[in-house]
Amino acid sequence: MEQNPDSLVISSDPLHPANLIPDLCRSFYQLGWVTGTGGGICIRQGDKVFIAPSGVQKERIEPTHIFVLPYPQPPPSPHTDRVFLRRPTLNLKESACTPLFWNSFHLKNAGSCIHTHSQHAVMATLLWTGPTFTISHQEMIKGIRLGGTGAALSYLDTLELPIIENTPNEEDLKDSMGEAMVKYPNAPGVLVRRHGVYIWGLDWEKAKTQTECLDYLFEIGVKMKLAGLPTSLV
């Protein structure tokens, strides 16, 4: 199924996914979310999924580095030969996050999923030692969608995100992430202890907005914890 790369990832439209992903990754790098080649993002558009390569400098990704996979693919193995575009000549491989991104498509009908290695997210998983991160009565909660793709939350709502345990290989998180998404259907993301967070949205704009809001909430929550302040008022 491999096609001419130019027909899939070269476009003059700045909003084409192959242009958006490098641009967003540069922004995420500046925020400290995808340093050291970590993290990733995917955008689903129609019957195609555009996905960043794995193990590369995220601030230096070019449109011609992007992988294109067909959607849907038979679960649970997105890593198959059914790809529109792969990058063997560039010695690149598709993101190790791919099976986890697929969770957001199958379980939430998401249009985009973002994975960060934000220190705020990691610290939240260390200070909240139980199965969830919770916070309430913060203005930035209003930027979060129920389940990541539903109605907007309000200032009075309590935000709850599941925390799953990390594994040596990222793809091995797929099942525990999926189980957490089912158990906590209102959560807009899943935290991975000592690792980072996966956040999804109906499209890339909403996924980006929710990632920014959640990172703010992780940061303020961590600061409140360390200051001895309660993070939930209910």
List residues with catalytic annotation: 139
Q: Record the tokens describing residue 49, joined without a space.
A: 């999924």
Q: What angle do CA 217, 53, 215 make, to 5 degrees?
A: 5
Query: Got the DSSP string for 53-75?
Result: BSSS-GGG--GGG-EEEESS--T
Total residue count of the chain as it appears in this document: 234
From CA 61, how far away is CA 209, in angstroms rounded? 22
The reply, when asked if residue 16 is annotated as ligand binding, is no
The reply, when asked if residue 113 is annotated as ligand binding, is no
Q: What are the backbone angles phi and psi of residue 85, rounded to the nearest 5°? A: -155, 125
The reply, when asked if residue 97 is annotated as ligand binding, is yes
The reply, when asked if residue 137 is annotated as ligand binding, is no
Q: Record the tokens describing residue 1, joined without a space.
A: 């199924």
From CA 90, how far away is CA 218, in angstroms rounded? 37
From CA 111, how far away is CA 204, in angstroms rounded? 7
Query: Residues forming the annotated binding site for Zn(2+)?
Result: 115, 117, 195
Annotated binding site for substrate: 97
Q: Which residue ranges are tagged as binding site?
A: 97, 115, 117, 195
